[in-house]
Structure 1
Amino acid sequence: VAAGVAAFRAHEADLVVAIGGGSALDCGKTIALAAATDRPLWDFEITLAAPALDRPMVPILAVPTTAGTGSEVGRASVITDEEAARKVILLHPQMLPRLVMLDPELTIGLPATLTAWTGMDALAHNLEAYCIDAWHPMADGVAVEGMRLIHGSLVTATTDGRNLAARGTMLAAASMGATAFQKGLGAIHSLSHPIGAHCHAHHGLTNAVLMPYVLEFNRPAIEPKIVQVARCLGIGGGFEGFRDWVIDLRKALGIPHTVEALGVTAPMLDQLSEEAFRDPNTPDNPRPADTAALRRILAAALEGRLDGLSR
């Protein structure tokens, strides 16, 4: 970000064009923010009231080359504070890009692994937004349709990377997920952030590994909604059917079943769960989750077991 701001000022730029995956888009958006303020970037953390800018923020053009984060339609960016080894969500309404270009041809060269991981990130966004216990029927409708598109296109986009229809559908689903999660996110993301910061694991992959464990933990609070979305997606078996679809989807995409594959070890669980509890997404989780509950989810994800999480 600092290098980008220096280049922005050296060229006296009047526009930021952010091209790439979620990290690149977030970096571009943050460069525009940093160029408009003399404050430390951490003053714009999502948990704080956004201070006034010192200068007008220049327009941002976003061109995603992955179908995952949906950062192109968001007002926030996720930046790693390297000194503190934590991921920080920065927020300012003017970071919302003025123009977005969704071109599936730009995603053609994306490797299958990254296609799968970013696609699971899009699923996590739609799923968690839908499950949040807040009344927002428009966001819920967007999230359900986003999940339906992913259900029909993610495996094809991963196994047949030149399929423009599947690639384009996934781009739409990713943007829909980020639109829906203005409603909120939950424990998948609050657990994923510290794992990513400490283990340098890809965010979408981390979300994918954690997904069934958080689903099972949240079951007492979300089962009726999951039964409903399973019906919309044509998945039989209610809650268990939807959860098993997530597990089967991970297998089809070559995604591991435990967080051990991400570099998580038992001695790390206390610190990761404490940091996850402080994550701004934790209060929105459908089922209240304190540090002990988050540690229980992590322990289950380390051992690869789902039994008992919903109790």
Structure 2
Amino acid sequence: MFDIPPGLSRNWSWPTDIRFGAGRLAELPDIVAGLGARNPLFVTDAGLARLPLAARALAVLEGAGLAHGAFTDIQPNPTGAQVSAGVEAFRAGGHDAVIAFGGGSGLDAAKAIALMVHQSRPIWDFEDVGDNWTRVDTSARVPVVALPTTAGTGSELGRSSVITDTARHRKMIIFHPIMLPHVAVLDPELTLDLPPALTASTGMDALCHALETWITPNFHPMADGLALQALRMIRTALPRAFADGQDLGARAQMLVASGMACVALQKGLGAVHALSHALGAVHDAPHGLLNAILLPHVIGFNRAAAEPRLTELAGLLDLPERSGAGVVAWLAGLRDTLGIPETLAPLGIDRSRLEETVNLALADPCAAANPVPLTRDTVAALLRAVIPG
């Protein structure tokens, strides 16, 4: 069994400079100063901005006498318009760095804001397709310090952001290596008050990143190693963090595993993410919860092609049944333990926009890495399985 002692504090290079350990939020002013910044823009989502946790982080800046601004006009599934508004706020305030604070939505938006400050092209020109990333102007870079408050997307260690194009009803992956934050502060104390339902859905998002990475047929042994270790950690830590939100060791383990899974996903994802991106764009539903609901269904669909990998994983995790069926059973049992719905019905999603969702899923870049090639019929069948009709 893998565990992290609650008092452990370490600095790592990933190549992002990682400050891991409880209480390291207190180092934020010194981290900003070390990047040569004097007036950062604090970026978080609107919901978190109203909670004591954000006030606590801002108080650390104020206590150090560090000039700063705040931009909080970020919603779940951040949009291009919200990123543009953040860029305007950055420029108007004369800011010189970005502090990204929150879950996946806040971190993704903050990274996109930092990227776009020095760009002349629209953000959609940098979608992660082909060599679009080479269009980015890299002559200037805004420093980013990322502080995750959930253990899910791992965006604090990622080189991309998922941003919704509301005009085309599409979620788009915006990518460039300079989007990698300069410093990531992994302070498990920032996740202690995360409600059980969000602990479950964000934790299943991290699990999904690692598992889809592991079974995609793309070749990337280093990513495989990260994915397997993340899965090993999540298997024990996620139920613990869900059952007892104050379990600092479990929270720390989930933060580390989430970051590892995010780095691993550069190998490729698959149908879970292709479907969840499409459903999120069409229905504005939460990404982590979509992934959590979809995951057992999609892994079952992929079993025929991924059986050797799933069998190997079942052995590593010491599951009762060493097979793909054993992995699917584990996922379904974990879903039930965490109170995750079996279908999308509780999210108010119906089949009225099924055709639109199918088209978006097939066009999503994640679709290409799925172990079983996706077709219009198979995607529609997967959606019907999770959307009662």
Category of TM-score, reference length = shorter chain:
over 0.9
Rate the CA distance shift 1:52–1:3 in 2: closer, same or farther, 3 A: closer
Aligned equivalents of 1:184, 1:173: Cα separation in 2: 17
Q: Cα distance, 1:290 vs. partner? A: 1.4
**Which position in structure 2 is the counterpart of 1:106?**
190
Q: Cα distance, 1:202 vs. partner? A: 1.0
Deviates more, 1:21-30 or 1:255-264: 255-264
Task: Indicate whether 1:299 and 2:384 are aligned.
Answer: yes
**Which position in structure 1 is the counterpart of 2:87?**
5
> Are the aligned partners of 2:114 and 2:142 in contact in 1 as well (CA < 8 Å)?
yes
> Are the aligned partners of 2:108 and 2:162 in contact in 1 as well (CA < 8 Å)?
yes
Runs of 4+ with deviation above 4 angstroms:
none
- Out of 123, 145, 151, the residue aligned to residue 41 of structure 1 is 123
Secondary structure of residue in 2 paired with 1:110: coil
Task: Indicate whether 1:262 and 2:262 are aligned.
Answer: no
Q: Unaligned stretches of 5+ in structure 2?
A: 1-82
Deviates more, 1:1-10 or 1:103-112: 1-10
Q: Cα distance, 1:72 vs. partner? A: 0.7
**Which position in structure 1 is the counterpart of 2:9?**
none
Q: Unaligned stretches of 5+ in structure 1?
A: 305-311
Q: Cα distance, 1:54 vs. partner? A: 6.9
Aligned equivalents of 2:382, 2:235: Cα separation in 1: 25
**Which position in structure 1 is the counterpart of 2:267?**
183
**Which position in structure 2 is the counterpart of 1:195?**
279
**Which position in structure 2 is the counterpart of 1:59?**
143
**Which position in structure 1 is the counterpart of 2:370?**
285
> Are the aligned partners of 2:126 and 2:136 in contact in 1 as well (CA < 8 Å)?
no
Please tell me the root mean square deviation across aligned C-alpha atoms, in Å.
Answer: 1.3
Q: Over residues 15-62 of structure 1, what are the superposed CA-to-partner deviations in whole Å (9 max), with x where a residue is unaligned?
A: 111011011000110001110101111001111522031751211111
Secondary structure of residue in 2 paired with 1:100: strand
Aligned equivalents of 2:370, 2:317: Cα separation in 1: 23
Aligned equivalents of 1:54, 1:213: Cα separation in 2: 41
- Out of 207, 218, 230, the residue aligned to residue 123 of structure 1 is 207
> Are the aligned partners of 1:37 and 1:55 in contact in 2 as well (CA < 8 Å)?
no
Larger Rg: 2
**Which position in structure 1 is the counterpart of 2:111?**
29
Aligned equivalents of 1:301, 1:3: Cα separation in 2: 36
Aligned equivalents of 2:299, 2:354: Cα separation in 1: 19
Q: Cα distance, 1:266 vs. partner? A: 2.3
Aligned equivalents of 2:213, 2:223: Cα separation in 1: 7
- Out of 297, 304, 310, the residue aligned to residue 213 of structure 1 is 297
Q: How does 1:124-139 map to 2 (within 5 A)?
A: 124-139=208-223
- Out of 301, 306, 322, the residue aligned to residue 222 of structure 1 is 306
Task: Indicate whether 1:148 and 2:251 are aligned.
Answer: no
Secondary structure of residue in 2 paired with 1:69: coil
Secondary structure of residue in 2 paired with 1:281: helix
**Which position in structure 1 is the counterpart of 2:3?**
none
**Which position in structure 1 is the counterpart of 2:4?**
none
Secondary structure of residue in 2 paired with 1:198: helix
Secondary structure of residue in 1 paired with 2:365: coil
**Which position in structure 1 is the counterpart of 2:166?**
82
- By percentage of residues, which structure has more helix? 1
TM-score (structure 1 length as normaliser): 0.95
> Are the aligned partners of 1:199 and 1:262 in contact in 2 as well (CA < 8 Å)?
no
> Are the aligned partners of 2:274 and 2:367 in contact in 1 as well (CA < 8 Å)?
yes
Secondary structure of residue in 2 paired with 1:226: helix
Secondary structure of residue in 2 paired with 1:188: helix
Aligned equivalents of 1:263, 1:193: Cα separation in 2: 17
Aligned equivalents of 1:266, 1:19: Cα separation in 2: 35
Q: Cα distance, 1:264 vs. partner? A: 2.4
**Which position in structure 1 is the counterpart of 2:63?**
none
Give the residue type in structure 1 aligned to 2:127: E
**Which position in structure 2 is the counterpart of 1:276?**
361
Identity %: 48
Alignment: residue pair count: 304
- Out of 175, 178, 203, the residue aligned to residue 94 of structure 1 is 178
> Are the aligned partners of 2:163 and 2:173 in contact in 1 as well (CA < 8 Å)?
yes
Aligned equivalents of 1:54, 1:225: Cα separation in 2: 39
> Are the aligned partners of 2:207 and 2:261 in contact in 1 as well (CA < 8 Å)?
yes
- Out of 9, 14, 17, the residue aligned to residue 99 of structure 2 is 17
Q: Over residues 218-256 of structure 1, what are the superposed CA-to-partner deviations in whole Å (9 max), with x where a residue is unaligned?
A: 111101101101110110212111111100111111110
TM-score (structure 2 length as normaliser): 0.76
Aligned equivalents of 1:19, 1:4: Cα separation in 2: 14
